[in-house]
Structure 1
Amino acid sequence: MLELTASYIDSLAPNAAAVKNGRGLVAQKKFVKLNKSEEGDLLFGECSGSGKSNYVCSVDFVAPDNPVSRCSCPSRQFPCKHALGLMYAYADGLTFETSSVPEDISSKREKAEKREENKAKKATEEADAKPKKVNKSALKKKVSRQLEALDELEKLTLSLVRGGLGTADARTAKNLNEHAKRLGSSYLTGAENELRRLALLLENESDRERSYTYAAEQLTLLHAFIKKGRSYLQAKLEDPELAPDSESTIEEWLGHAWQLSELKEAGRVSEDVELLQLAFYSYKDDARREYIDTGFWLELGGEAIHRTVQYRPFKAVKHMKQEDSFFNVAKIGELYRYPGGLNARVRFEGLLPRKTESADLQAVRSSARSSIADAVKAVKNQLKDPLADRAPVVLLKASRIAQTEDGGFALVDEAGDTLALGDVYRLPQGSTSLLALTESSLLEDCCVLAMFEHRMDTGRLVAQPLTLIQGERITRLLY
């Protein structure tokens, strides 16, 4: 039986306007026919529009994790408001008459099935074929160019250190941005983004002291990349057949875009996984020149907190759908894991939703770390690697969240150890102050999803609460 929820349908919509219009069609009773197939894997019907003829629409769930919408309307959005309205009508419990699958849809299903068979056949042939030979000459040229770019980057960073950050001005920032372009053309896209981030910090006039603190950390990051990148590239130059490092983030720093087939070959794929999203936010990253949609998901039955990331370049943002919060459990056929630390980036091609149940929330509690000391140890181990994510996220169990004498907040675990809570630099908005407005019952015997950050000016760790989980309630503080 097909299970559709409003939250899942919202996630399929191309934008908020389509959601509103789709719901409006149901509220205005615009659907004159509502049908479903005997197998329950196809919804189809007719919706009255502005013209004489009704719009014929359908949503095909023959591949449940990848529904296909079709409509006779002229809209270029997929799903269009009519297909969305059809699904909302089903989710709202409206009566759908059982009917045979229309011939045109049966024909399209057969063609799609044939395409999938050809695709699978091609994939099998490629897997059985001999491994592709590495173009050693081209690889040598690329690696040599990257090494030259690293030498130039090293000279630039040493010059900044010798001159002192206090001497940096608008001309310095301009030079950094120009150098960042050269890094991009030399296949060092990771370093390009981080050098541009350094330029933005030095351009910040509003809080010079804070900017210099993070600029110093940025220089440390670049210095570490130069050392590790040079060593890795020299090894690849000596051995062109060297397989990509699938454990660290060095490949991404060097501009490598992981293909799903590569992740699968490296054993970084899990099957039949269930994920529960605990936090989601979007922000503008001027260094990358992209909008970034980020979600944090708990893998049910385990302890891993995964991270989904969608990059929407400024130039293409009008043509890309923004991701959104997801409140159901996502059933994933194949989950691909990128190299990373505590919150490795994951990717999946499709999902099946199911309603979140009490057992899922109990699994959240079982997955949370009960000791602040253990959580801090895990965070510090990650921060020892300068190229690792500087803001790891951890799920913690708290006996209570208490207000401190100075008006701040601290998380207290079962052993009585405390962890200071505060807003971190890397998040687009604060959330700690919202604890003062939260029901007191939510702050007792709860779980907290928190993002950690090491503050160089104080030498201490601070954690910003993203989500509270207490009993049957999940309260997201960041949105």
Structure 2
Amino acid sequence: MTELTVAYIDSFALNAGAIKNGNDLVRKNSFQKLARTEDGTLLFGECKGSGKEPYSCSADFVKTEQPVFRCSCPSRQFPCKHILGLLYAYAGGKTFDIADIPADIADKREKADKREEKKKETAAAPPGTETKRRVNKNALAKKLASQLEGIELAHKLVQQIVQSGLASLDKRSIRMYEDQAKQLGNHFVPGLQAAFREVFILINASDNHEAVYSEAFEMLAALHALLKRSRDYITARMEDPELPMDITSVLEEKIGHAWQLSELREQELIRKNMELIQLNFRSYTDEARGEYVDEGYWLQLEDGEIVITRNFRPFRAAKHMKEDDSVYMAVQTKELFTYPGELNKRVRWEEMTMRECSSGDRNKIRSFAEHSYGAALKTVKNHLKNPLADKNPVLLLHAAEVAKTEKGIVLVNETGERLPLANIARLGYPTLQLLPHLNQKQLKNMAVLVMFEDQLSEGKLVAQPLTLITENEMIRLFY
């Protein structure tokens, strides 16, 4: 069983409230029974509840990378506070009696073993005998035709807005355009619909529309390019039903496709036995899509690639969904699923174990940092030329020092190249004001995770520091 640290247990909790409630049960001595099997793979116990009978809860670590939690309580949160309390009790050194595995859990383990064996037999079947996901060609043709209609409708809306001019947009006209954009919800293009909403939200949020015109025009130009790419792509798929889905870019996701893990596996977008360390984390609200987003920036220790995890929690269902948080331990996973994309690809895993980070990990992270700022800027500029690209790419750079000049704070590399730093308004987490509070040792010979943004209104590319990695510590400027 993986060492049960508090940080590891916290990673299972749905939100901060669940963490507090689980710890409260331990503090109040609510557990009437605490037990574990002799091999330590199963923790189980009984916890006082609101009824006459206590709740039976267990944490099964027979598969370390995929623990199974069970509880007899009616809570819709999972894992519930009773399971979390059981884990916190163990991590906190509470006494757990040695006991035999309960019969019902032994039976469930046996059934799980049989399912796993069947999966292995299927995976070991000769090539060509495996069952592939069947595609209903008639249903696909109808969906593509509907998407094409949605794209044409979206194109007309963009034309209307551009021809009328942004200066003509007032609350009344914006409401009219929003009502028209709602029709896109009937055409399987939620990504395009959200792109329209972003424009309207940007303009509505500002009392001075002229101040956001440059950004609004940039968004409309990107939307126009997306619509053109989408039209060509959907038309090609309609003409050739055998044409595979695009897995080289984020086009499908921009249109609105939600990739399933089974699809990523089928497309072989998967890597085996990977280790990742989270360099930074943030949560934000995406009003256009109506969801909360938990976003983690990670480094793959095998190759130094910076990847991103995103956990989407729709407003209506957020309280029932797991809320991601900062992770300070290294994550080990047997299967890492990678979504289509280019720089800073999105990744996901189902099973994981965790271990403590070491100085060796920090040194390895630092070894992957780009030393040439010229090369870094070239990478970013080439990335931003793609209209489908994420507008805020993240890179890991090496800095000999952080210096203060007459024009502001800069990163300086060994050859004297300078990279000006600035806060990115869209990020919503200013960090430059924190740097003067660090001592000089922390501001020399480090790797710096930075986020870039092309600020068209000012005609410059800016970078904001997110995390500093020195030989002795990792300093997250927000988390």
Q: TM-score range by the shorter chain?
A: over 0.9
Q: Counterpart of 2:428 in structure 1: which amino acid? A: P
Q: Counterpart of 1:229 in structure 2: which amino acid? A: S
Q: How does 1:31-42 map to 2 (within 5 A)?
A: 31=31, 33-42=33-42
Q: Counterpart of 2:77 in structure 1: which amino acid? A: Q
Cα 1:130–1:5 change in 2 (3 A) is closer
Is the CA contact (8 Å cut-off) linking 2:399 and 2:447 kept in structure 1?
Answer: yes
Cα 1:404–1:228 change in 2 (3 A) is same
Is the CA contact (8 Å cut-off) linking 1:43 and 1:59 kept in structure 2?
Answer: yes
Distance 1:377 1:448 in 2: 18
Counterpart of 2:242 in 1: which secondary structure?
coil
Distance 2:373 2:221 in 1: 28
Cα 1:379–1:32 change in 2 (3 A) is same
Identify the residue that residue 399 of structure 1 maps to in structure 2: 400
Identify the residue that residue 466 of structure 1 maps to in structure 2: 466
Identify the residue that residue 455 of structure 2 maps to in structure 1: 455
Residues 232-267 of structure 1: CA distance to partner in whole angstroms, max 9, x if unpaired? 122112111100010111111222221212212222
Q: Counterpart of 1:63 in structure 2: which amino acid? A: K
Distance 1:300 1:478 in 2: 22
Is the CA contact (8 Å cut-off) linking 1:59 and 1:69 kept in structure 2?
Answer: yes
Identify the residue that residue 376 of structure 1 maps to in structure 2: 377
Q: Give, in angstroms, the shift of residue 329 of structure 1.
A: 0.6
Is the CA contact (8 Å cut-off) linking 1:279 and 1:478 kept in structure 2?
Answer: yes
Identify the residue that residue 113 of structure 1 maps to in structure 2: 113
Distance 1:210 1:302 in 2: 42
Identify the residue that residue 353 of structure 1 maps to in structure 2: 354
Q: Give, in angstroms, the shift of residue 128 of structure 1.
A: 2.8
The answer to which of 112-121 and 320-329 deviates more is 112-121
Give structure 2 stretches of 5+ with no counterpart.
none
Distance 1:41 1:423 in 2: 48
Distance 2:121 2:100 in 1: 31
Q: How does 1:59-138 map to 2 (within 5 A)?
A: 59-117=59-117, 128=129, 134-138=135-139
Task: Work out whether 1:252 is the aligned partner of 2:261.
Answer: no
Distance 2:131 2:19 in 1: 48
Counterpart of 1:221 in 2: which secondary structure?
helix
Aligned residues: 478
Distance 1:156 1:69 in 2: 49
Q: Give, in angstroms, the shift of residue 127 of structure 1.
A: 7.6
Distance 2:133 2:353 in 1: 35
Distance 1:132 1:335 in 2: 21
Distance 2:55 2:159 in 1: 66
Cα 1:309–1:102 change in 2 (3 A) is same
- Give the alignment's Cα RMSD to 1 decimal: 2.5
Counterpart of 2:478 in 1: which secondary structure?
coil
Task: Work out whether 1:299 is the aligned partner of 2:305.
Answer: no
Q: How does 1:234-249 map to 2 (within 5 A)?
A: 234-249=235-250
Identify the residue that residue 319 of structure 1 maps to in structure 2: 320
The answer to which of 21-30 and 115-124 deviates more is 115-124
Cα 1:132–1:299 change in 2 (3 A) is closer
Distance 2:43 2:103 in 1: 14
Distance 1:435 1:422 in 2: 12
Cα 1:350–1:176 change in 2 (3 A) is farther
Identify the residue that residue 200 of structure 2 maps to in structure 1: 199
Q: Counterpart of 2:80 in structure 1: which amino acid? A: C
Q: Counterpart of 1:203 in structure 2: which amino acid? A: N
Is the CA contact (8 Å cut-off) linking 1:334 and 1:348 kept in structure 2?
Answer: yes
Q: How does 1:142-157 map to 2 (within 5 A)?
A: 142-157=143-158
Counterpart of 1:128 in 2: which secondary structure?
coil
The answer to which of 356-365 and 19-28 deviates more is 19-28
Cα 1:186–1:48 change in 2 (3 A) is closer
Q: Give, in angstroms, the shift of residue 361 of structure 1.
A: 0.9
Counterpart of 2:11 in 1: which secondary structure?
helix
Q: How does 1:141-290 map to 2 (within 5 A)?
A: 141-290=142-291
Give structure 1 stretches of 5+ with no counterpart.
none
Is the CA contact (8 Å cut-off) linking 1:180 and 1:193 kept in structure 2?
Answer: no
Q: Give, in angstroms, the shift of residue 449 of structure 1.
A: 0.9
Percent identity at matched positions? 48
Distance 1:133 1:333 in 2: 27
TM-score when scaled to structure 1?
0.92
Distance 1:186 1:219 in 2: 20
Q: Give, in angstroms, the shift of residue 474 of structure 1.
A: 1.4
Is the CA contact (8 Å cut-off) linking 1:59 and 1:68 kept in structure 2?
Answer: yes
Counterpart of 1:215 in 2: which secondary structure?
helix
Q: Counterpart of 2:111 in structure 1: which amino acid? A: K
Q: Counterpart of 2:172 in structure 1: which amino acid? A: R
Identify the residue that residue 412 of structure 1 maps to in structure 2: 412
Is the CA contact (8 Å cut-off) linking 2:2 and 2:354 kept in structure 1?
Answer: no
Distance 1:440 1:246 in 2: 45
Distance 1:294 1:130 in 2: 34
Distance 2:30 2:132 in 1: 56
Identify the residue that residue 17 of structure 1 maps to in structure 2: 17
Residues 151-209 of structure 1: CA distance to partner in whole angstroms, max 9, x if unpaired? 33223222322332122111332233223222221122211111110111222333434
Identify the residue that residue 477 of structure 2 maps to in structure 1: 477
Q: Give, in angstroms, the shift of residue 313 of structure 1.
A: 0.9
TM-score when scaled to structure 2?
0.92
Distance 2:107 2:310 in 1: 36
Residues 104-132 of structure 1: CA distance to partner in whole angstroms, max 9, x if unpaired? 22122223333444566678889835656
Is the CA contact (8 Å cut-off) linking 2:153 and 2:184 kept in structure 1?
Answer: no
Is the CA contact (8 Å cut-off) linking 2:122 and 2:130 kept in structure 1?
Answer: no
